[in-house]
Amino acid sequence: MAENNDAHARIKTLRREIEEHNRRYYEETAPTISDREYDKLYQELVDLEQKFPQFATEESPTRRVGGKPLKQFGQITHRVPMLSLDNTYSEEELREFYARIKRLLPNREIPVVIEPKVDGVAVSLLYENGTLRYAATRGDGSTGDDITQNVLTIRSVPRRLKGKAPAVFEVRGEIFMEKRGFEKLNADRTEQGLPRFANPRNAAAGSLKQLDPSIVATRPLGIVFYGTGAHEGLALDKHSEFFPLLEKFGLPHSERWWTATSADEITGAIHELDKVRHGFLYQTDGAVVKVDSFAQRQRLGFTSKSPRWAIAFKYEAERVETKLRDILIQVGRTGVLTPVAVLDPVLVSGSTVGRATLHNEEELARKDIRIGDSVIIEKAGEVIPAVIGVRTDLRTGGEKKFPMPTKCPECGSKVIKDPAQVAVRCVNAQCPAQVRRRIEHFASRGAMDIEGLGEVMVGQLVATGAVRDVSDIYQLDAAKLSQLERTGEKSIGNLLEAIERSKTRPLWRLIFALGILHVGETSSRGLANHFQSLRGLMDATPEELQRIPDVGEVVGTSIHQFFHEPHNRELIARLEKAGVRPKIEPRIIASDSPFTETTWVITGTLSQPRDEIAEMITSRGGKVSGSVSKKTTYVLAGEEAGSKLEKANQFGVKVVGEKEFRRMIEK
């Protein structure tokens, strides 16, 4: 009895955890655990339900596929359900899969096809008489989101099939984000002050959930087709016949695929795939093994969730050993010192890694990382290199602990550590590294938006002494810029025009661009709305600052200290003298506006930049806050909404999607 009770309790816990992870993965595209960790939880639930069948239920996540369709898209019912595959990380279990289907179909040769498992977003496209009728996500396996307009922005997706097409042809595939494009997208998001995507799959999923196809069109998306759903007027006996058909119709498919008729040939194929997969445009996390014959597939059938004739083999995240030769310090905009590992270059997941961040002093101590150590490197999601461990058993005694410096390596000034924080900071506001980062931040898209003033240009300007602080940007002219490398007449003209345009940006952008510690976009907007002038903000008392929503004691103190530092007041005076006159945006409040006296929190990715959405709210009498509390009136949730959405549900705050928000705006 006790064993039954314990098992029942564990089953319920696992179901709750898996449902929550499903929600994060499918609906928010923001997973909090790795695929391997999820698979372990899932397998534990499968094992318990088999051992204790009295606790099995149709509502279990082991009986269902995917996540709920999003409300803001139209819905499409799949003509043939989109099922998911069983998976394994074990070659032994892969061999057992093949032995099992051999037992189910005795005395027969059973050819299988092995192809790359693309780490993307599963979709289904339906062509009627050769013309694309719709594209849909997997959704819950039966019903998915209508993403036709977004999919049509992908260049490799034909609106019409080549040649003579069947009456009905439903193709299944994976939409992915190209690996190089993903890196560029994240670099652009960093420059704009936006959160980075965790991996290419998340970036692809977030892109497809955009309500505005013009945004999707800017994303480097591709697609690979791997199977069929419903079809009429098409004679296919084997899956291996499918690839030439895709070629004939002009539909993209896997670069490589293999056939096998034994367990040894299957494992040989997945080893060969592992050697070549890093050269593909897209990220792969495994191989899919499918029975080739459709007649044999029909005889093998399905479980409630997966076909018995296919399995996904997942590769372990690639880990390699290398030597940690040194630890360098990188100095950020606010003076934070970040340790960076200098490694013997090593090939990981298809690219050479020579450096990896070590985050902070506490991370160094927790992992006991020392100069000279043999360390284990892994690429998280095959993109971001990380030091995940140390081979302490290989130590010779010559390894050295790395002490965080007491002086800044860039300028020699002393550094301090706030007892309440992990960060170690350089106290010299004129530190060259901080100057470079501050200028880059000031010119970024989320701040003063000075196009052409990126990292390379800023590095040259600071190195030559042409720019020592942000006010010097407005003293640049064609003569000074022409002395720099790789600057032509056209690029100089464009940069000077961008600098001139920045002089009249909205006040909140200037406040944010100044880089005041703890002051983000939301706080900057609130400060601009309250004070309506930079001088009013500069002269505010700590008490007055703390009465403003989203400011509080810590932020208020930081703002007061910033503007009472003589150097910063001199900087403001130089900006004013240079002609920087931020635009003041008075609040226009309609008496019947549904936004009057409301407080909003914006989270996730929307079809417009967040600052523009916030302007819509504040101009109608509402306030925009950076955090959810019981005083919040609405949470506007876009794609990739995470913890703020959870808090809204916890506090009972009304959550609105973008469609409902637009209806409120129209009122």
Q: Looking at residues 262-275, what average pLDDT do you find?
A: 94
Does the pLDDT value for residue 170 go beyond 90?
Answer: yes
pLDDT confidence band for 78 (50 / 70 / 90): very high
Higher pLDDT, 72 or 163: 163
CA dihedral 22, 27, 32, 33 (to 10 degrees): 40
SS3 158: coil
Does the pLDDT value for residue 135 go beyond 60?
Answer: yes
pLDDT reported for residue 47: 84
CATH topology of domain 2-63: Helix Hairpins (1.10.287)
Q: Tell me, yes or no, if the pTM score tops 0.85.
A: no
Q: What percent of the chain has pLDDT over 90?
A: 38
371 and 399 in contact (C-beta within 8 Å)? yes
| CATH 1.10.150.20 intervals, the chain | 432-577
pLDDT confidence band for 259 (50 / 70 / 90): very high
Does the pLDDT value for residue 190 go beyond 60?
Answer: no
114 and 269 in contact (C-beta within 8 Å)? yes
Higher pLDDT, 365 or 61: 365
Does the pLDDT value for residue 553 go beyond 90?
Answer: no
Q: Which range (94-103, 228-237, 410-419, 588-597) has the least confidence?
A: 588-597
Q: Which residue has the tokens 């010119």?
A: 443
Does the pLDDT value for residue 474 go beyond 80?
Answer: yes
Give the Cα separation of 205 and 122 in Å (integer): 9
Q: Looking at residues 652-659, what average pLDDT do you find?
A: 88
Does the pLDDT value for residue 644 go beyond 50?
Answer: yes
- Share of the chain residues as helix, strand and coil, in percent rounded to the nearest 5: 40, 25, 40
| CATH 1.10.287.610 intervals, the chain | 2-63
| Structure tokens that stand for 483 in this block | 């002395």
Does the pLDDT value for residue 388 go beyond 60?
Answer: yes
Residues 511-532 pLDDT 10s: 999 988 878 776 787 788 888 8
What's the residue count for the chain? 667
Which amino acid is located at 652 in the chain? G
pLDDT reported for residue 69: 53
Question: Of 303, 260, 244, which is closest to residue 63 (Cα–Cα)?
Answer: 303
| Structure tokens that stand for 13 in this block | 């816990």
| CATH 2.40.50.140 intervals, the chain | 319-413
Question: Of 349, 350, 341, 398, which is closest to residue 369 (Cα–Cα)?
Answer: 341
Write down the H helix ranges in 406-485: 432-443, 455-463, 478-481
Q: Which range (314-323, 340-349, 588-597) has the least confidence?
A: 588-597
Provide the total of helices (H) and of strands (E) in the chain, helices listed first. Answer: 24, 24
126 and 79 in contact (C-beta within 8 Å)? yes
Q: What percent of the chain has pLDDT over 70?
A: 90
pLDDT confidence band for 66 (50 / 70 / 90): low
pLDDT reported for residue 646: 77
Residues 104-134 pLDDT 10s: 999 999 999 999 999 899 999 999 999 999 9
Higher pLDDT, 646 or 283: 283
Task: Report domain 319-413's class.
Answer: mainly beta
Q: Looking at residues 537-543, what average pLDDT do you find?
A: 90
pLDDT confidence band for 27 (50 / 70 / 90): very low
Residues tagged active-site: 117
pLDDT reported for residue 293: 95
Q: Looking at residues 370-376, what average pLDDT do you find?
A: 94
Question: Of 571, 579, 506, which is closest to residue 538 (Cα–Cα)?
Answer: 571
Give DSSP secondary structure letters for 269-281: HHHHHHHHGGGSS
Does the pLDDT value for residue 572 go beyond 90?
Answer: yes
pLDDT confidence band for 25 (50 / 70 / 90): low
- The CATH homologous superfamily to which domain 75-314 belongs is DNA ligase/mRNA capping enzyme (3.30.470.30)
Does the pLDDT value for residue 182 go beyond 60?
Answer: yes
| CATH 3.40.50.10190 intervals, the chain | 599-666
Does the pLDDT value for residue 326 go beyond 90?
Answer: yes
Give the Cα separation of 371 and 611 in Å (integer): 44
- The CATH homologous superfamily to which domain 432-577 belongs is 5' to 3' exonuclease, C-terminal subdomain (1.10.150.20)
Does the pLDDT value for residue 75 go beyond 70?
Answer: yes
What's the whole-number average pLDDT of the chain? 85
Q: Which range (60-64, 217-221, 480-484) has the least confidence?
A: 60-64
Does the pLDDT value for residue 264 go beyond 60?
Answer: yes
Residues 39-56 pLDDT 10s: 788 888 888 888 888 888
The DSSP code for 25 is I
Q: Candidates 3.40.50.10190, 1.10.760.10, 3.20.20.70, 3.30.70.100; correct CATH number of 599-666? A: 3.40.50.10190
114: left (phi > 0), else alpha (psi -120 to 50), else beta?
A: beta
pLDDT confidence band for 172 (50 / 70 / 90): very high
